[in-house]
Structure 1
Amino acid sequence: MTINCKGQLIDLSTPKVMGILNITPNSFFDGGKYKNEKELLERVEKMISEGATFIDVGAYSSKPNAEFVSEEEEISRIIPVVNLLQKHFSGIILSIDTFRAGVAKICIENGAAIINDISAGKLDDKMLETIAKYNVPYIMMHMKGTPQTMQTLTQYEDIIKEMLLYFSERIAAARTLGINDLIVDTGFGFAKTLEQNYSVMQKLELFQILELPLLVGISRKSMIYKTLNSNAEMALNGTTVLNTIALTKGAKILRVHDVKEAVECVTLFNKLN
């Protein structure tokens, strides 16, 4: 189970960690944290030194009810960061968190290796053809609606069955265009209630039927801190617990704010297996 990142084959038979770099002013956990290039570089250097295989850069907050950001603004935020990181970190594997084909295109042309799309191509009908043209790995997440509307769209008769049908359709659409390297993200927190998030986690192993690498992104999310009557700042321990459970259920990539702790989860999981 490998993906090709700019000619570098990444073996996902051993789980990997993806470090989150939000460059939005309003991300739910680390929005507006990095004020200058020095702070950005220090953050990324720390994540790489702690064992992150991928760095996922996002310039549009997808938290519930996030305000709209224009494509031009998203590009103006993200391209300087893509170029900065490429300049300072030789061989860095950058993932771009965007649902816009135009943003994906310009980031790939500037050296990004992976596209991470919260909508699996449903918010931009040019996304899949862009991925096919540039032949990069593509993370397709489950979501309904948009970040502004998704939390009103949590009605399911059978959430696991409906998610599997969603992924089957999106995978078929991607395969028709010749897209080879696909990764599935169940989208914890996206168009799901707290209870539904835990239902998905409970049955996460069922998504292995898709025969694709599974990415799990639950880092410091409200499904953790609301259950614990806490907040995002205090949600690291809960994140570690659920990341460990996700690994036992087949997760191949952990997308996290806290790389060191996630790498330790993977190390101990590998030791047991």
Structure 2
Amino acid sequence: MSVYFRPIIQTDPKLPSDAVLLHGGPLWFHRVEPLERGVAHALMPASELPTEFLDRLSAPRVVSGMPKDRAALMGVLNVTPDSFSDGGEFMAPDKAIAHAKKMIAAGADILDIGGESTRPGAAFVPEVEEVARTAPIITALRSAGVETPISIDTRKAAVAEAALSAGASMLNDVSAMTYDTAMAATAVRSGAPICLMHAQGDPETMQKDPYYDHVLLDVFDYLKERIAVAEAAGIAKDRIFVDPGVGFGKTQAHNLSLIRGLSLFHTLGCPILLGVSRKRFIGNIAGVERAEDRAFGSVSLALEGIRQGVQIIRAHDIEAHSQAFALWRAMHT
């Protein structure tokens, strides 16, 4: 059976002599939790890690075009009629531009444009319609002088191609290239970074009794396999991001397990994107029904992601996240 290694991330400014800096930054670890299916392990010293894992965890991880001294904030801009939190609000170009500029002013480093809702139970959107929703908005943003990197949130290669032609520069595929295998060729031709996300099932069915043998390790294995597929297709590893897909075919318990164990995903050797913003399980735990009222809970989980070294946080409430992150950095760097 495979053995996995989860670094126990620390933030205290007093480092022990055997501390290993996570990616050369302010976070560190000196203990590691070995994980193995069906076997319980005691913590081990970081010095006993196999070299390949130690190298992946200690090597600086610079995300091209992103801040070098902090996690990047990805602002959500849905141009859909039915997204769970902001459906129908930003489909008109003038409203999309205004909201994008507001997020950028508040601290967004990336804009993530989506034309197909991926909320639980969402219906499939034909690619022609998805292109019609997204490409004109991206063109309008560029024409309005928006220079911030734009990510296209799609699982369809044709939609990605149109978005890249309109001015997008990053791909965010919730299916990790399993829905449309042509997505790999799009990433190779364009040279655009791509985020590979884990999801169990498609949006219409993913929340119908999701099951895992060991959610943290099952998601890790899936992402490891998708990275290998991407590399075999010709996508350079330094252009690949991973997202554990919180809320995509997971129960509340699954979601919490993934967030607690986020640091495991650093051993994949790719930057980590975390998207938890306004999700239903936050409302269930906090007793908040409306998605737009879940900013406080979203920030709380995003800060846990920052504490574990996540490189990109995807969020709706950029001002709240930006302010919280600035205070976190002041305390820990």
| Equivalent position SS for 2:207 | helix
2: CA distance, partners of 1:143 / 1:187: 6
248-257 or 83-92: which moved more?
83-92
Instruction: Note if contact 1:29-1:220 (Cα within 8 Å) is conserved in structure 2.
Output: yes
Partner AA of 2:62 in structure 1: T
Matches within 5 A, 1:1-273: 1-4=61-64, 9-12=65-68, 14-34=70-90, 36-152=92-208, 154-180=210-236, 181-231=239-289, 232-271=291-330, 272-273=332-333
For residues 146 and 31 of structure 1, do their structure 2 counterparts lie closer, same or farther at Cα, with a shift above 3 Å needed?
same
1: CA distance, partners of 2:233 / 2:124: 30
Aligned length: 269
With the length of structure 1 as denominator, give the TM-score of the two structures: 0.94
2: CA distance, partners of 1:126 / 1:64: 25
With the length of structure 2 as denominator, give the TM-score of the two structures: 0.78
| Equivalent position SS for 1:263 | helix
C-alpha deviation, 1:12, in angstroms:
4.9
2: CA distance, partners of 1:203 / 1:85: 37
C-alpha deviation, 1:268, in angstroms:
2.2
Partner AA of 1:220 in structure 2: R
C-alpha deviation, 1:37, in angstroms:
2.7
C-alpha deviation, 1:92, in angstroms:
2.3
In structure 1, list runs of 5 or more residues that go unmatched. none
Deviations 1:221-261 (A, max 9, x none): 01100111212132111111111111101211110111111
Partner AA of 1:238 in structure 2: G
1: CA distance, partners of 2:148 / 2:299: 25
230-239 or 56-65: which moved more?
230-239
Q: Percent identity?
A: 34
Deviations 1:175-229 (A, max 9, x none): 1122121111111100100111011111111111112111111111011001112
The structure with the larger Rg is 2
Partner AA of 2:277 in structure 1: S
| Equivalent position SS for 2:73 | strand
2: CA distance, partners of 1:30 / 1:90: 21
128-137 or 112-121: which moved more?
128-137
C-alpha deviation, 1:267, in angstroms:
1.6
Backbone CA RMSD of aligned residues? 1.4
2: CA distance, partners of 1:120 / 1:134: 17
Runs of 4+ in structure 1 deviating by more than 4 angstroms, as ranges, are none
2: CA distance, partners of 1:13 / 1:136: 22
Instruction: Note if contact 2:71-2:312 (Cα within 8 Å) is conserved in structure 1.
Output: yes
Deviations 1:115-169 (A, max 9, x none): 1000100111111121111110101101122111211261111111111110111
Partner AA of 1:185 in structure 2: D
Instruction: Note if contact 1:20-1:257 (Cα within 8 Å) is conserved in structure 2.
Output: yes
C-alpha deviation, 1:106, in angstroms:
1.4
C-alpha deviation, 1:40, in angstroms:
1.6
Partner AA of 2:276 in structure 1: I
Partner AA of 1:111 in structure 2: G
2: CA distance, partners of 1:158 / 1:54: 32
